[in-house]
Structure 1
Amino acid sequence: MRKHSIDLNSDMGEGFGPWKIGDGVDEDIMPLISSANIATGFHAGDPNIMARTVHLARTAGVGIGAHLGFRDLVGFGRRNITETPQALVNDIVYQLGALREFARLAGVSIQHVKPHGALYMLAARDESLSRLLIETLRTLDPTLMLYCMEMSVTCRIARELGQPVVREFYADRDYDRSGSIVFTRQVDRLDPERIAAKVLRACLEGRVKTVDGEDIEIGFDSVCIHSDTPGALALVQATRAALARNDIRIAPPLPAVAR
């Protein structure tokens, strides 16, 4: 089904102290998106960066999400950490609480949560972790939107338990036949027009080509472009332009359970 509006999200605040990840263009990307996934200190981010990024999002009128990762600054949250589901969810609660307080200081609220990197992929296939995460979110705030892939265990359990879920389409990642992204630790510079065409086709036709060259159907409520992808600003600009030419506006997400 053709989309007339779509959420556009990006990972923000992914530095640490004086170090920046990617091109360091959060200030330029923020006004172009509708939802920001702000790093909460475990895979990237620190108190000063979190406070500054929340302020950027508030100024731009962008929805704020907690981007929750493994305790893995060295590996940028893209290495698998062996830990119990309870320990991982405790880490998630800790990170969410940190960003929630910075948001409260800025007079805004948390719109959503989104696991990062290897934690996102682990939750996508691990029923115990996804169930405990969602049960915890139900207790903390049953209105928090949870970003995940449509084919994931996370999405299925969120719908089962009634937690609002936002299904993502990844503009700057490849897909396999299952509808999952192909996880990678390193992404090369991509052609902005090719990425924009990929997103536009998904919005108009609900389809994407896999790494095997097959077409699959894809259901989604939000498009993600990672800010650490080389040339991310050009990817966002080209995607926005392609959507605008086809009368598809950028707008806050409508959770799948609200349909």
Structure 2
Amino acid sequence: MDILLIGIGTGNPEHLTLQAIRAMKRADLVLIPRKGDDKADLSALRRAICLEVLGDDSRIAEFDMPVRDPANPSYLSRVSDWHDAIAARWADAIATRPQAEVVALLVWGDPALYDSSLRIAARLAGEVTVSVVPGLMSPQVLTAAHGIALNDIGAPFLVTTGRRLRNEGWPGGVDTLVVMLDGDCSFAALDPEGVTIWWGAYVGMENQILDHGPLAEAGPRIRERREAARAAHGWIMDIYLLRRSR
């Protein structure tokens, strides 16, 4: 069985590459996760992309995503158990179409950046070949939306998570951070002196929201806008870039 992990950007059908479109058309089965009523838009976007590319939904199989066990005190163990549970859901969904030889999953952004699809696919039993189709990553879409460069001249940048920023502070050796998976606005814990933020929610989608400015001024405003957007849509995907003046 061939597993195709197809990067689809941030939900905009125009983010699809020709390679992604061709890969989707190769698939006998496309798996779409359901994450509950409050995130129904996410599965709806994947279905819409399938309809646009494939013309119908006959190749789609949906499955319910399991949730992480909050009682497990170990973050890594909790995530590993969760990945095992997701792999089992994939296998159950695939078993409903025993004739399917090529199975595709549509991955937000790119499977290589803060996505677990490759680790989950490695848990599938049997003879499985995994292929990756790269997609636009959210840092690219964010910087394009703001019209800024990702790095300063000759300078490095670091991509990290809100949890690490919150727990460990600003990493040494870099003045530019791209922060993902931050549900708590961890930038609020930083010293804002000399820091500029470029933030985006639903980047690349029709309901895209952008804001930027000195962290001291823009930070509180972004927190309010983020809370309002989450309340309005029931879910939010956001990302931000922080740059510290030398």
Q: TM-score, normalised by structure 2?
A: 0.33
Q: TM-score, normalised by structure 1?
A: 0.32
